[in-house]
A and B are shown apart, each in its own frame.
Chain A
Amino acid sequence: MRKKAISFVICAAMAAGCLPGTQVYAQDGQEVVKLRMMAYNAESARATYLQYLADKLPGIEIEFEFVSTDNFDNVLNSQLQAGEGPDIIEVGGQTKLLARAGYLMDLSDQEFIGKYSDSGLQAYTVGEGVYAEPLQSWFEGIFYNKKMFEENGISVPKTWDEFIEIHKTLEEKGIKAQTMGAQSYEPMMKQSIGLVNNLFYSDSANMAFDEKFNEGEGKLEEAWLPAVQEWYKIIEAGCLNAEMLGLSYDQALDEFATEKAAMWECGPWAVETILEKNPDIDLGMFPIPGTDGEKPGWLVGGPGSAWAINAKSEHMEEALQVLEVTSTEEAQQALAKDNAGSSFVKGVEIDLGDIYADCEEAFKEGNVYAPWTAVWTNGNAVTESYGKSLQEVLSGSKDVQQALADADMTNADLLEALE
């Protein structure tokens, strides 16, 4: 009898565990809807914005899930394939693929989409449909320690050769010039594309190349080679070395923030962590210089990430409310507070701050571009392949032409998979 009673209690407890949880209500008695938001920018880079959403939309509770870029597509794709996934997704280079596969809601009929400039929407447009709402521009340049530059009589470089020369000057004085977390495929990939921006995309006639690349007609090995060979000079000069392949992003950030290195290539999302580690650091950023000292250099970037809505979301109405609030000037300013970047909402001006004063000319000229997020269909996979091959270039087992050929081959394989 006693055993039966215990069994009954255990079964009852298990059954109770299976029952739906208690509903949560906002202060005004309205039921709170939980929205899953999956992002590859950390929660700290959205803190002010998320607080703003919480204040503006008390009936919506956002469960923010950060998944690092290395793993983001793995996690997202497996969830979407299972017919699940987050309600709101932070998308970038994979938007067109996801939209074509029917995973994203078409936002083109939404009123708030009209507030955005065409340049912001271009990367998220497939045919007549708009599948994501741009958050802000992203850009990546070279962070530098102003104090270390001043103490060593160094000014911001105007050409790629000057940039390499700075390395030599600092290294001669026993200072590590540039740190790089080359354990990740990203930094070399982005830095070399900075040179491609300067030497290839700066000619507007070459902007059509990316569409040809999407069709499998354009080849990086032919179009980008001179620019990437120019970038390779930095490896030949020993400014980037194989030791950097053993450094992670966090370790490189540590070295720069603790003033063990004078320069580090990254973007505004890292500023908060740098300042947390060293509040006294005097930080600046300059664009990646090209070969012509009269021109202001280029940043790698463009319409950065964007919010898309899962086509199978059970809370589309609430997800649309979030996107609508995001399109307001207040939300755009809140976004910029934790992660500097200009807004694509027409008429919204964002003050990026002193850190980016040396990039002002590049911004004015519109010298911000990242082909894989702006136009390429298979952007993420191709840049990963290219970046991994550049790691082999740094370790001396490949040359830049082979690295570009690898990227072309990856693009061809992926286009074949889409046929």
Chain B
Amino acid sequence: MNTKKRDRVYFWMIFPAFAGFTVLYLLPTAMSFLYSLTNWSVYNAQLRFVGLRNFQKIFTDVKTVAALVHSIKYAILITICQNVLAVLLAVLLNRKSRAANFVKSVTFLPAVLSIMVVGYLFQYIMTSADGGLLNRIIEWFGGKPVNWLGDADIALYSVLITQVWQWTGWSMVIYIANLKSIDASLYEAADMDGAGSVQKFFRITLPLLYPAISFNILMSLIGGMKMFDAVFVMTKGGPGYATETIMTTVIREGFSSGRNAYACAFSVVFFIVVFLFSQTLTYVFNRWEEAIRA
């Protein structure tokens, strides 16, 4: 088969996926950019250009800015907590034993549950009602009950804990897969040089976990920025606006209130923030990779 013919075959093979990507992602994204400069509302048939007014409103509305801050804070915290715990668990459980396999399975189990199910479950576990399981345990140990989901200062962290619980096992499995690919002779050489466990972890394991770390961190960060379902189920963005995120605000403004153009503008801001985050991380990871190779 000559090159041109082969390229044509490849083109038609990727065409369905590319067409889907264009229609379902590229086009709506471009339309969101355009609509963000208009007064588009589900309740208003007259579309007109309003320039950057929607963007101006976003940065002068304290509720919307708070949602942006919550999303960034949540994304950074979940990325750190989830990945630190997952790396530690992966290193501890990367061995052949029935007990290790059992713990791995148990740790991974929450990841197969729906976020909605986990959210409803924890809503009952963390409730401030008399039957709240978590508070009962705290009281049994002599502590005072905590208003996990109703206290504006801690509600976001309560949601975060549930998501760390759910997704740490998923990250751990990726780290374990990466650990399996590290050559055992490196550890043997380190042993012969008299390196301790901590030195081996920081000098061999962590640098060679680079592929899994870069993937997991990027996924956690983007997933954290997109947080919607757990917040929606557990706190509905409340109390007040204490757990509102970018996505809950976009849904509320765009669909409930009918301020579609405003929601589009906020989606554009979201796109830019995620783009900047991912570009910065990619740059940092590339530099790290170069340092490891050097």
Contacts and interface: CB of A to CB of B under 8 A. Distances in A.
A binds B: yes
B45 interface: yes
Contacts of A80: 42
B257 A255 contact: no
Interface string B27-41: 000000000000101
Contacts of A388: 237-238, 240-241
B43 interface: yes
A248 interface: yes
B179 interface: no
A23 interface: no
A61 interface: no
Interface stretch (B123-131, B185-193, B283-291): B123-131
Given A245-B151, A395-B240, A251 B129 contact: yes
A43 interface: no
B239 A392 contact: yes
Interface string B145-170: 00111111000000000000000000
Contact of A413 (B57, B124, B241, B252): B57
Contact of B149 (A97, A183, A380, A418): A183
Contact of A395 (B127, B129, B151, B235): B151
Interface in A363-406: 378, 380-381, 384, 388-389, 391-392, 394-395, 397-398
B258 interface: yes
Given A388-B241, A391-B238, A417 B128 contact: no
Nearest to B235: A183
Nearest to A413: B259
B150 A242 contact: yes
A243 interface: yes
A98 B42 CA distance: 8
A397 B152 contact: yes
Contacts of A75: 255
Contact of B147 (A100, A243, A255): A243
A289 B152 CA distance: 30
A390 to B, nearest CB: 8
Interface residues of A, number: 46
Nearest to A388: B240
A293 B161 CA distance: 49
A77 interface: yes
A78 interface: yes
Contacts of A248: 123, 127
Nearest to B40: A417
A343 B41 CA distance: 34
Contacts of A389: 240
Interface string A69-107: 010011101101100000000000000011011100000
A168 B131 CA distance: 24
A232 B252 CA distance: 27
Contacts of A345: none
Given A81-B42, A395-B152, A413-B259, A260 B130 contact: yes
Interface in B226-241: 235-241
B46 to A, nearest CB: 9
Contact of A255 (B129, B235, B241, B259): B129
B238 A245 contact: yes
Contacts, number: 127
Contacts of B151: 242, 245-246, 395
Nearest to B251: A74
B240 A417 contact: no
Given A184-B236, A417-B41, A381 B241 contact: no
A264 interface: no
Contacts of B279: none
Contact of A70 (B148, B236, B259): B236
B130 A418 contact: no
B2 interface: no
B45 A102 contact: yes
A395 B256 CA distance: 25
A201 interface: no
A94 B204 CA distance: 62
A242 B147 contact: yes
Contact of A380 (B147, B242, B256, B261): B256
B44 interface: yes
B128 A247 contact: yes
Contacts of A78: 255
A362 interface: no
A419 B50 CA distance: 12
A245 B241 CA distance: 12
B262 interface: yes
Given A183-B235, A388-B240, A73 B128 contact: no
A391 B242 CA distance: 10
A74 B255 contact: yes
B128 to A, nearest CB: 3
Given A246-B127, A388-B241, 14 more contacts: A73-B256, A73-B258, A77-B258, A97-B43, A98-B43, A185-B236, A246-B126, A246-B150, A247-B150, A254-B129, A391-B239, A392-B239, A395-B239, A395-B240
Closest 4 CB pairs of A and B: A246-B150, A245-B150, A246-B128, A392-B240
15 contacts: A183-B150, A185-B238, A243-B147, A243-B150, A245-B150, A246-B126, A247-B128, A247-B150, A248-B123, A254-B131, A255-B130, A381-B257, A381-B258, A392-B152, A417-B41
Interface of B: 39, 41-45, 57, 123-124, 126-131, 147-152, 235-242, 251-252, 255-259, 261-262
